Amino acid sequence: MSTINSADRTTGVDRTSGALPRLGGSPARGFGVHAVLALAALLFLNWLVVTEVPLAIKGIGSSYLIFFYHFPAAINVFVFYGALMGASVLYLKTKDPIWDRRARAAAEVGILCNAVLLVTGSTWAKAAWNAWWVWNDPRLMSAAVMTLIYIGYLMLHGAIEEPARRRQVAGVYGSLAFLNIPMVHYSIKLFGQASHPMKFDALSDASVVATRWYGVAAFFVFYLLIYRWTFDRKSRADRLEDSLGRIRRIEERGATS
């Protein structure tokens, strides 16, 4: 990532000479190692779930196994939406476009986690309550509303033409969105009837708790990999756009003089 950092303030271009930046280039350092690590961590999680966790627990059945994929998504949603807000605030403070790219990448990964959360949750709900969706459950509804709010972030980002204003406005929205999360949650909690299981006695078993938190860590490594990949892609896209604009300008200048 260091290559991106150093060139970023001027979107990767030496302005005075008008030279074009190098395109393509190698992906961020250690990306391959990271990918292998993430894959291994997830495989190990599967192995843990299969071997360490009792298959059927009294009264719940085996469907609860999806919990080990569901819970990490729930934690990582907050990690990445939180990172999105942090990056947004830092963008507003520093005006450095790198924070905007970080915010956008965090938004995409956050929405991915959110989608995983909803799909695993919904699948589990079908198995446990025989319904894909329950309208008055606070957690389900908060997760759904959060998705809508952050899809809004990406839509807003895509809608504004002028790059500096786009980053600015998205920065403000990214900050507002995160402030809203606790309120979305509490407001729904106030009235909803929680059908969402939060505590299973059976799951307080030491090996199950360990597996659960190991799952969070393993998935964090995995989502971080996706984040780095997204960020890298955005940085390249931005630099490419910049270079194209620059080439167009040089051509124009050539045509006029």
Partner 1 sequence: MTPPGPWKSYCTLVRWDWTREMRRKTTLLSMGVMGLITLFLFSFAIPPEREVLLDTRAGILWVTFLFAATIGIDRAFRADGRSGMLQGLLLAPVRRATLFYARVTSTFVFVVGLQLVLGVLFLVLFNQSLNVDGAITLIATVIATDLGFVTVGVMIGAMTWSVPGGDVLLRILLFPMLLPVFNVAVASADRAFKGQALSTTQLLMLAAFDLTFLGAGHLLFEHLVKDVGSDV
Partner 2 sequence: MSGPAFRVTGLWKRFGARDALAGVTLEQARGTCLAVLGPNGSGKTTLLRMLSTLGEPSEGDVEVLGHPLPAEAHEVRSKIGVVLDRHLLVADFTLRESLRMYADLYGLVDATARIEMLADLTGLTARLRDPVRTFSRGMGQRAALCRALLHQPEVLLLDEPFTGLDAGGTRIVERVVTDTRARGGSIVVVTHDLPRAASIADRAVVFAHGRVVFDGAGEEAAAQAAEASR
In the complex with partner 2, the residue whose CB is nearer, 14 or 52, is 14
Residue 179: contacted member of partner 2, partner 1, none (CB under 5 to 8 Å, by partner type): partner 1
With beta carbons less than 8 A apart as the criterion, state whether 118 and 112 touch. no
Asked if residue 246 binds partner 2 (CB under 8 A), the reply is yes
With beta carbons less than 8 A apart as the criterion, state whether 233 and 109 touch. no
Half-sphere exposure of 202 (CA within 13 A, CB side): 14
Site track 144-183 with partner 1 (rule: CB under 8 A), x = hit:
-x--xx--x--xx--xxxx-xx--xx-xxx-xxx-xx--x
Asked if residue 244 binds partner 2 (CB under 8 A), the reply is yes
With beta carbons less than 8 A apart as the criterion, state whether 228 and 178 touch. no
Neighbours of 91 (CB within 10 A): 24
Neighbours of 252 (CB within 10 A): 10
With beta carbons less than 8 A apart as the criterion, state whether 60 and 128 touch. yes
With beta carbons less than 8 A apart as the criterion, state whether 63 and 92 touch. no
Retrieve residue 189's tokens.
Answer: 């909690």
Asked if residue 242 binds partner 2 (CB under 8 A), the reply is yes
Asked if residue 188 binds partner 1 (CB under 8 A), the reply is yes
Residue 92: contacted member of partner 1, partner 2, none (CB under 5 to 8 Å, by partner type): partner 1
Asked if residue 6 binds partner 2 (CB under 8 A), the reply is no
Asked if residue 164 binds partner 2 (CB under 8 A), the reply is yes
Asked if residue 207 binds partner 1 (CB under 8 A), the reply is no
Which DSSP string do the residues of 150-167 spell out, in sequence order? HHHHHHHHHH--SHHHHH
Q: How many residues bind partner 1 (CB under 8 A)?
A: 30
Using the rule CB under 8 A, which residue among 21, 27, 163, 197 binds partner 2?
Answer: 163
Instruction: Please name the residues in contact with 51: beta carbons below 8 A apart, sequence gap of 6 or more.
Output: none
Residues in the chain: 257
In the complex with partner 1, the residue whose CB is nearer, 183 or 247, is 183
Using the rule CB under 8 A, which residue among 15, 24, 51, 58 binds partner 2?
Answer: 15
Backbone dihedral region of 239: left (phi > 0), alpha (psi from -120 to 50 degrees) or beta? alpha
CA–CA separation, 247 and 252 (whole Å): 9
In the complex with partner 2, the residue whose CB is nearer, 169 or 226, is 169
Asked if residue 245 binds partner 2 (CB under 8 A), the reply is yes
In the complex with partner 2, the residue whose CB is nearer, 228 or 239, is 239
Binding stretches for partner 1 (CB under 8 A): 92, 145, 148-149, 152, 155-156, 159-162, 164-165, 168-169, 171-173, 175-177, 179-180, 183-184, 186-188, 190-191
Binding stretches for partner 2 (CB under 8 A): 11, 15-16, 162-164, 241-246, 248-249, 253
